[in-house]
Amino acid sequence: MKKIEVEGFKVFSRNHSLDFNAPIVVILGPIGTGKTSILEAVEYALYGSLYSIKIRREFRVEDLINDFCDNLAVKLILTDENGVEYEVYRYRDRAGRVKAYLKVNDETIEDEWSKIDSQIEHLLGIGLEGYARQIALRHREIEDIIYGTDMQRSEALDRLLGIETLEKIFRSIPLKRIEDELSKIQNQIEIIDIRLRKEEPLDELVGKLERYKKELFEAEEKIRERERLLSRYRDELKKLKEKEKEYEKIREKEITLKAEIAQLKKRLKALEKEVLEEDLGVLVEKIRSSIMSALKEIMAYKDLEEIEKLELSQIKLDVMLRVFHEKLRKLEIALENMNEEALDINYQLASQRNHYNALKRKLADLEAKMYTLEKEYNTFKFLTEKFGSRAEIRKKIEKLEIELGKIDNLIRLNTCINDLGKHVLSAYIKNGEAECPVCGTEIDDEILKRIKKRLSAPREEVFNRDKILKNLEELKRAYSKLIELEEKIIEMREIENERNNLAKELDEVSANIEELEDLISDIDFKISRINNLIASASSLLLKLARVREIVELRKELEVKKQELNKVLKKAMEVEFDKNYYNTIEEKYYAALSEYNNLSSCLKKLNIDIENLKEKIAYIQELVNKKVRLEKKAVKLSRLRDDLIEIKAAFREIQSSIRRIVVRRIIEKMNDLFQQMYVHPDFSELTIKIRNVKFKREGREYERSMYEILAKRTRDGKWIPALKKMSDGQKRIVILSLLTALFRLSPHNVSFIILDEPTPSIDYECRKAMIKMLAKIEGIDQIIVATQDESFKRIVQDEPAAVIYKLRHEKEGADIEVLR
């Protein structure tokens, strides 16, 4: 491999190019940085798919596209021993569109995807499965061999040796399916036998069918006879029904009239019981009187005149009743208006009462305030009597303040004189002599005595000042209080005026309340009277309607009785004998019943015949099917016996091929192991094949299993390598085996790929492994993907080695060339 470019492939969202033109290429990086993605990109470029997709089916090809990209692109450049350069390019987007080309020395020789696959296989001399087994040595394949069960390990070695197809062919021989099919057919034959045992014998069923056919013929003759009898009865009934129609119409009219008469009598009886009969004229006059009285109450004099002019007659009674109802409606409307007026007055009365109560509460509040302010007024009066008015007090304060100023000046003068005397006295006591600092007079004993007397004399002006100050403070407090009280006096006069106004308003509201209460009383009396008059008139009108209805019902009853007599007379004139009609009708229905019974029997016979025919056909089909199944069962039994022999022979062939392949690989594997494993405790490897019996498809088979043995130098004993050796030793054993397969397999590939090959292997063995691989004929290039940083030291002796360092970045993996 010379170079690879990837973009949008798995972890790589950006374009990355790696130069592989070196004998050893090491790809370092922590987990998830894209080491395996680079190796899979090589595989995808070569074969257009991955082993894990096409063979293992672990995920889909669409999953190869990076989540942040819409497509992927991979370009790989290879060279052969003659320097010819091969460039293969693959492109795929999320819609499934693909592009590809294969160039040789920059000349495109193929651009069709599937044909490129064929060209690459021909060029490399190995297909995708062989590449995954022998060229790209995967960590997972090594793990399957080291840690799998004996069966898993043997299946993994079969895949690596390229002979797993033999096992697939063995397992695909459909012995189980043949046996299942044979068992199924035998079960079907048993089911058919059970069904046949449940059915009647075929000859008995045929005899029963002939008897049913004879009964069917006899039933058909009887039905024809009944049809003739029914035709005669039907004609006679048709003639009678023409007269029956007219008779039934008359009977229907008779029944209707009798029902109407009974209903009228019932209604008339109820009304006569409910209402005592009274003269219509008297009732009308009572109604007129009640309505007129009500109209007077509402002062509807025009309507009153209209009522007075109405005259009673049978013809004009409806007109009078309509007028009465109109006036009653007018009275009801007037009553509604009066109720609304009364409601409005009641609302005014409630409002006035609420106002009255509010005024009373407000007046009580003012009286309470007046009581409090009167105390303040007494205090004001006391202060003015004691100290005088506010102006007089202000004059007294000003006079005392002037006098206080004079005393303060005199005190300051005496203080200066005293200070001067103290100074002179102090100088005289200290020096024995002194002079006045003001006039310069020399101080003698006489002057000194006068100074001492002056200093010791009490100060009358100080006592006077305290007395004046006390009087001044008292006057100022009185002056401030009078200012405050004068505001209260003003407030008291305002409240007094407000109280007088409220008292006046309270009297007015009280008068309004009395007036509204009188008005309400008058309206309530009028409403009550009109209500009574309307109720009386309405009751009389209802009674009038009932009395009038009684008269009308009696007239209608008489008319209905006359009509019933005419109908009864007409019914006697129609010649129709109901008893004769009923006799013919009974005979008709009896014949019809016999006809229906015979028809049912005929239908049942037809069904029984059809069922018998179906049952006979069903039994015949079961017999035929049983014969066919028995023939098929014989053939399947022979085929099963042949397949058992074939599978046994195939197992012997498998075992023989495994031994041949193992013999070819052991020598080369030992040679590689001795170069790779630098420690003295194990000297040689071998692979033994042992046969193990196991069950498949309910049968016992033999299967040859691989067992890798290592020779221990301490005692020369062969031990099971994958059970007794350490993890690191196991990996070296398997790497020796895989490398031997690479050497023995026929292909044109001169590079080998190792994906995380050496966990648990010590540094010296790793180093020996790389040196050994580099010396093997046919391996011109080693590509290692690993997390192990020690590979940087291992390849340092190879000047042409290339080392790439992969790191995690926010936008995907980043690649750095370390060497």
Tokens of 562: 């006359």
Exposure of 88 in the CB half-sphere (CA atoms within 13 A): 25
User: Which CB contacts under 8 angstroms, 24+ apart, belong to 723-729?
Assistant: 725/682, 726/760, 727/146, 727/759, 727/760, 728/758, 728/760, 728/761, 728/762, 728/765, 729/677, 729/682
Closest CA to 429 of 451, 396, 399, 398: 451
DSSP per residue, 189-236: HHHHHHHHHHSPPHHHHHHHHHHHHHHHHHHHHHHHHHHHHHHHHHHH
255-265 per-position pLDDT tens digit: 888 888 888 78
- Burial label, 306 (beta-carbon count in 10 A; 0-12, 13-18, 19+): middle
Report phi then psi at 576, rounded to 5: -145, 120
Angstrom distance (rounded) from CA 312 to CA 303: 17
What is the CA angle 617-619-621, rounded to 5? 70
Contacts of 268 (CB under 8 A, 6+ apart): 550, 553, 554, 557
Please give the residue that has the higher pLDDT: either 561 or 157. 561
Q: What pLDDT does residue 599 have?
A: 84
Please give the residue that has the higher pLDDT: either 157 or 509. 509
Confidence of residue 110 (pLDDT cuts 50, 70, 90): very high
pLDDT at 370 > cutoff 70? yes
Angstrom distance (rounded) from CA 314 to CA 279: 12
Q: What pLDDT does residue 385 have?
A: 80
Angstrom distance (rounded) from CA 587 to CA 581: 10
Residues above pLDDT 90, as percent of the chain: 16
- Amino acid letter for position 271: L
Contacts of 785 (CB under 8 A, 6+ apart): 27, 35, 36, 38, 39, 753, 754, 755, 756
β-pair partners for 137: 754
DSSP per residue, 563-606: HHHHHHHHHHHS---HHHHHHHHHHHHHHHHHHHHHHHHHHHHH
Q: In what order do the strands lie in the sheet with 781-786?
A: 136-137, 751-755, 781-786, 24-28, 802-809, 812-817
Compute the average pLDDT of residues 266-292.
73
With contact defined as beta carbons under 8 Å apart, do 271 and 304 qualify? Answer: no
Angstrom distance (rounded) from CA 771 to CA 764: 11
With contact defined as beta carbons under 8 Å apart, do 688 and 671 qualify? Answer: no
- What is the SS3 assignment for 390-423? HHHHHHHHHHHHHHHHHHHHHHHHHHHHHHHHHH
Angstrom distance (rounded) from CA 662 to CA 656: 10
The 10 Å CB-count burial string (b at 16+, else e) for 622-659 is beeebeebeeebeebeeeeeebeeebeeebeebbeebe
Confidence of residue 696 (pLDDT cuts 50, 70, 90): low
User: Which CB contacts under 8 angstroms, 24+ apart, belong to 517-524?
Assistant: 517/349, 519/345, 520/342, 520/345, 520/346, 520/349, 523/338, 523/341, 523/342, 523/345, 524/342
With contact defined as beta carbons under 8 Å apart, do 83 and 89 qualify? Answer: no
pLDDT at 313 > cutoff 60? no
Angstrom distance (rounded) from CA 165 to CA 159: 8
- What is the SS3 assignment for 473-521? HHHHHHHHHHHHHHHHHHHHHHHHHHHHHHHHHHHHHHHHHHHHHHHHH
Confidence of residue 152 (pLDDT cuts 50, 70, 90): low
Three-state DSSP class for 542?
Answer: helix
Catalogue the E-assigned strands of 16-83. 16-19, 24-28, 71-79
Task: Of 76-90, 438-452, 747-761, give the lowest mean pLDDT range.
Answer: 438-452
DSSP 310: -
Q: How far is CA 292 from the centre of its chain?
A: 77
- Amino acid letter for position 152: Q
Angstrom distance (rounded) from CA 36 to CA 41: 8
The pTM of this model reads 0.45
- The dihedral through the CA atoms of 44, 9, 23, 664 has a sign that is negative
Angstrom distance (rounded) from CA 517 to CA 342: 11
Specify the DSSP element, H or E, that contains 753: strand 751-755
Q: What pLDDT does residue 798 have?
A: 77
Most confident of 65-74, 326-335, 436-445, 606-615: 65-74
Q: What pLDDT does residue 161 have?
A: 66
Compute the average pLDDT of residues 595-603.
84
Task: Of 38-47, 527-536, 551-560, give the lowest mean pLDDT range.
Answer: 551-560
- Amino acid letter for position 26: V
Q: What pLDDT does residue 326 have?
A: 85
Compute the average pLDDT of residues 756-765.
79
Q: What pLDDT does residue 315 have?
A: 46
Tokens of 140: 């997972």
Most confident of 621-625, 741-745, 773-777: 621-625
Q: What pLDDT does residue 785 have?
A: 93
Contacts of 22 (CB under 8 A, 6+ apart): 781, 800, 801, 802
Task: Of 359-373, 687-701, 803-817, give the lowest mean pLDDT range.
Answer: 687-701
With contact defined as beta carbons under 8 Å apart, do 328 and 538 qualify? Answer: yes
Please give the residue that has the higher pLDDT: either 434 or 225. 225
DSSP 435: B
Please give the residue that has the higher pLDDT: either 71 or 274. 71
pLDDT at 162 > cutoff 70? no
Alpha helices for 275-316 (secondary structure H): 280-297, 301-309
Confidence of residue 166 (pLDDT cuts 50, 70, 90): low
Compute the average pLDDT of residues 759-766.
78
Supply the mean pLDDT for the chain. Answer: 81
Angstrom distance (rounded) from CA 721 to CA 669: 14
pLDDT at 460 > cutoff 80? no
Tell me the C-alpha to C-alpha distance, in Å, between residue 312 and each of 281, 319, 364, 541, 548. Answer: 7, 10, 70, 15, 14
- Burial label, 244 (beta-carbon count in 10 A; 0-12, 13-18, 19+): middle
Contacts of 492 (CB under 8 A, 6+ apart): 370, 373, 374, 376, 377
Please give the residue that has the higher pLDDT: either 277 or 65. 65
With contact defined as beta carbons under 8 Å apart, do 45 and 11 qualify? Answer: no
Going along the chain from its start, the domains and CATH numbers come out as 1-125+751-819 (3.40.50.300), 354-543 (1.10.287)
